[in-house]
Structure 1
């Protein structure tokens, strides 16, 4: 089997105008970015707003492991399968961050014969959206420091500035910095730091905004720091929301591409799911739903992170109704949750597989708690044995869970037809019974507790002393009615990445709260989760190169 990049480079892509014509778009609805990429017009959604929306299908998964789950691959494969059986489907995905692309996790363009293309562009600079967010974020940082340098009429306390600079690469050396050294002409010295771009509140704001004016209003509400008497200072106070909106004008437009089978795909926005809300933009998902009968979208990492935030944050902000959910699992990952090391996964081990099923069970219970129908998708790897895949199928059937074996990595859409037929049956028979796990008027502590207990299976939560002080302050500011965005490790249901499977009796420690008022949620940082990751001992970048023909090499 060829590598992902080899499959991608051997695929014949349709000119992007052909993909636009498939969707019945006029020339005013899109603008080309080369031969195979396009930006959709900011007026397109307004033009389509009275058109009936199609069904939205969410793809989520069990907790990820180094063995791989292939959630994006299943998302792409399912979209292709739906088109193969005569349904009009669009895929709606996040944009990959250069941090994991160059680091450890890899890209987010799918794999094998279920990829979104051109995968080199999508995994690298694409249409520049993430660069635009980096620029807007750092421009705001510069405006803050310039305001202080020029007299500080807002009385910003340099010790209480919350806004960090960003970079879209993993760089642990930039987590904590000191700026403004060198004398009065260089600004005011203060502590600062960097987060990764996809953790910027501006990324979350862009993904939750419905149009440019909504984007501007959300940007204006961002709290950048506090005054000497501890009052919030916002972007609106600095009067730079217009400039930031201008920088983000083109980034606000969703990107149109295609898959290995020329299925249309809209890729837009990319907040991390462990430290942000982990979903592509509202405008991309809702535009796709207007253009197709079925939209297949995904939320980052497992159902404990991406799906929970999809339902509590994105669905609320965008008034999105989801018709069905796919829960992706693999034999390899389930065996790791059952206690088997990565180098032993190629050996059949039903006992380890059985032990790991508890992790899948918990994620099923989470989706059931939201009252949305689901199908379990077994994403098959070449090392899986028939006995192992049969075990998962029989385990699901004994409990009344719909299950489908998929081979979309190797077979493209053809390998997802069973899943497509089963998910359509769920989606088309759906009655809107979606229920959030908490109400917005509940106290912030109760919201965090309900997520920890109902989604993670925790015994309770515990707030550090500093988090308790932040909680009291946020309540005084009137921010208690916002949803919570839990920042947690993706590898475990707990806040300890070493606890695989389905741990019990643990407590989730909330060490810090952050106010993302522009995005409209409160971030709760748990455990040791970092907003600026570091590179591994052997970054994926070591395998990357460009050949004499100008083609990328070593990119997955």
Structure 2
């Protein structure tokens, strides 16, 4: 029996030298910094040289709320990019890098699947070009310098009870969520409580993904607020004098990574903030560079449209001056059944009524995206067990929402399975009907911005925020941060903060547990419900099944 696993398909692919992939976008070999034969970074000098070119059309791929049935957002992103190339369009893909945490935990990697993948898959899902390691090192250098400053006299009068800069690592490790440091005596410093977040939640990750160039990167790093004095005066990274060294560590990581799809089409893979606890988009540098080199750029935003797309549109587009031409919303018949109440073990049975009931989740996402003034196309990611009656139910429902649904078979057929989607998406993008607008203005009060997202995107009745949180938001407004957008940290599995509440729930409230100021990245993080910025491993982590075979090849990685 032929091995149809993602890793077997990726390993059998015929890769082209990365210089040939760069040539498809007009990038010369001298403008690439190769990492082996099949991946490279694009030099900053080349990026600077193309800034006067017109932009191509930006296509955003998002999805319904994820379910255990699987939706295939990245797979669809890759399949659509390949489909556009197959119909003769000059297209490129922009996706995020994979975090080691999910790879060895439960979610898996971020390179697509089946015959719609970005390769080299194994490298992309492991160390790749070292960007995440550089981000981790830069983040933790700042943490070390804060404690060192305090140890050597604390000239800035930092209140050690009010140090807000935590440490990070790119792994799921619940034991590190809350820790005590500097134990063991005077020579180790002043004991205090702190904790770890996962690297993809780091403000340094967000900054790298939002910075335009190295100067902008260092300015943003310098703006990071790391602590407060006893009188609540903020202390910045610049005052700790760590911004220069952090920029040095991130110099190479700032350059976008170029790889290829299974069909040898160009793909930029750069940056990787999660969308449930961070802003969920690949780097501005990669996206804006691709827009100068291709007529169509297909990018994605993490998890469901209530998280990734909302942040892409309200944060990334706002900060980078981007305007999407069309949004592709990925859904599956299987996920509609689960949203309609069907257990995972019964998804193979036809159940049109459950599909129709579950479409409420899809409908809310369609309406939400349409509210930003951008046309929406639904991509039905096909699974072999889908029946025609179930597909017709989704198609009819979507038509009733003022949109259209197109069946896609890219997992099994590659670009042949997305030609219809690619043709329609290109036509809509070329028509120029998008009238993009953000959900809220810059000058809206911070709490009102949070409530706007909760009521208009999640359809909650409101938010629950205690007096301490309200006072903190008011203080930040007084300090000049009131213009910043909001980055909601919330479960990806539901519109609500209850991960088990599927469909399109009503009558719920969004509890705000904590707010964090990311002054360098340029947003306020609102942590909702029980969401964790350091995930834990599942009962049976994927790491238990990963290893090397007798030929030295990786096994168990998808």
Q: Distance in 2 between matches of 1:91 and 1:142?
A: 37
Report the counterpart of residue 209 of structure 1 in structure 2: 211
Structure 2 SS opposite 1:56: strand
Report whether the alignment pairs 1:308 with 2:310: yes
Q: Is the 8 A contact 1:464 1:509 kept in 2?
A: no
Report the counterpart of residue 231 of structure 2 in structure 1: 229
Q: Is the 8 A contact 1:181 1:187 kept in 2?
A: yes
Q: Distance in 2 between matches of 1:398 and 1:508?
A: 29
Report the counterpart of residue 499 of structure 2 in structure 1: 497
Q: Distance in 1 between matches of 2:301 and 2:116?
A: 17
Structure 2 SS opposite 1:43: helix
Q: Distance in 2 between matches of 1:431 and 1:393?
A: 22
Would you say how many aligned residue pairs link Structure 1 and Structure 2?
556
Q: Distance in 2 between matches of 1:47 and 1:399?
A: 44
1:169 is aligned, of 156, 167, 171, to 171
Structure 2 SS opposite 1:216: helix
Q: Distance in 2 between matches of 1:108 and 1:492?
A: 21
Q: Is the 8 A contact 1:466 1:511 kept in 2?
A: no
Structure 1 SS opposite 2:311: helix
Instruction: Report 1:270-419 matches (<5 A).
Output: 270-419=272-421
Q: Is the 8 A contact 1:375 1:402 kept in 2?
A: yes
Q: Is the 8 A contact 1:374 1:423 kept in 2?
A: no
Instruction: Report 1:497-516 matches (<5 A).
Output: 497-516=499-518
2:477 is aligned, of 470, 475, 478, to 475
Report whether the alignment pairs 1:149 with 2:151: yes
1:253 is aligned, of 243, 255, 260, to 255
Residue deviations 1:198-228 (CA, integer Å, cap 9, x gap): 0000000000000000000000000001112
Q: CA deviation at 1:334?
A: 1.1
Q: CA deviation at 1:543?
A: 1.5
Q: CA deviation at 1:42?
A: 1.4
Structure 1 SS opposite 2:418: helix
CA-based RMSD: 1.0
Residue deviations 1:420-447 (CA, integer Å, cap 9, x gap): 0111111111245111110010100111
Report the counterpart of residue 199 of structure 2 in structure 1: 197
Q: Is the 8 A contact 2:375 2:434 kept in 1?
A: no
Instruction: Report 1:446-465 matches (<5 A).
Output: 446-465=448-467
Q: CA deviation at 1:383?
A: 1.8
Q: CA deviation at 1:472?
A: 2.6
Report the counterpart of residue 49 of structure 1 in structure 2: 51
Q: Distance in 2 between matches of 1:396 and 1:442?
A: 33
Structure 2 SS opposite 1:555: coil
Residue deviations 1:360-412 (CA, integer Å, cap 9, x gap): 00000011100001110000111212221122112223443221100110100
Report the counterpart of residue 158 of structure 1 in structure 2: 160
Q: Is the 8 A contact 1:483 1:521 kept in 2?
A: yes
Report the counterpart of residue 5 of structure 1 in structure 2: 7
Q: CA deviation at 1:268?
A: 0.2
Q: CA deviation at 1:240?
A: 1.4
Q: Is the 8 A contact 2:375 2:433 kept in 1?
A: no
Q: CA deviation at 1:476?
A: 2.5
Any stretches of 5+ residues in structure 2 without a counterpart?
none
Q: Is the 8 A contact 2:363 2:398 kept in 1?
A: no
Q: Distance in 1 between matches of 2:268 and 2:63?
A: 21
Q: Distance in 2 between matches of 1:308 and 1:443?
A: 18
Q: Distance in 2 between matches of 1:427 and 1:415?
A: 20
Residue deviations 1:145-173 (CA, integer Å, cap 9, x gap): 00000000001111111111101000000
Report whether the alignment pairs 1:102 with 2:115: no
Q: CA deviation at 1:475?
A: 2.2
Q: CA deviation at 1:85?
A: 0.4
Residue deviations 1:116-169 (CA, integer Å, cap 9, x gap): 000000000000000000000111100000000000000111111111110100
Q: Distance in 1 between matches of 2:45 and 2:497?
A: 42
Q: CA deviation at 1:26?
A: 1.7
Report the counterpart of residue 437 of structure 2 in structure 1: 435
Q: Distance in 2 between matches of 1:47 and 1:472?
A: 43
Report the counterpart of residue 518 of structure 1 in structure 2: 520
Q: Is the 8 A contact 2:57 2:296 kept in 1?
A: yes
After TM superposition, the score normalised by the length of structure 1 is 0.99
Q: Distance in 2 between matches of 1:455 and 1:395?
A: 20
Q: Kindly tell me: are residues 388 and 432 of structure 1, through their superposed partners in 2, closer, same or farther at Cα, counting changes over 3 Å?
A: closer
After TM superposition, the score normalised by the length of structure 2 is 0.98
Q: Is the 8 A contact 1:160 1:227 kept in 2?
A: yes
Q: Is the 8 A contact 1:40 1:256 kept in 2?
A: yes
Q: Is the 8 A contact 1:59 1:327 kept in 2?
A: yes
Report the counterpart of residue 189 of structure 2 in structure 1: 187
Q: Distance in 1 between matches of 2:468 and 2:200?
A: 26
Q: Distance in 2 between matches of 1:389 and 1:44?
A: 46
Q: Distance in 1 between matches of 2:65 and 2:45?
A: 38
Q: Distance in 2 between matches of 1:233 and 1:267?
A: 34
Structure 1 SS opposite 2:61: strand
Q: Is the 8 A contact 2:488 2:528 kept in 1?
A: yes
Q: CA deviation at 1:496?
A: 1.1
Q: Distance in 2 between matches of 1:519 and 1:442?
A: 19
Q: Distance in 1 between matches of 2:218 and 2:296?
A: 31
Structure 2 SS opposite 1:204: helix
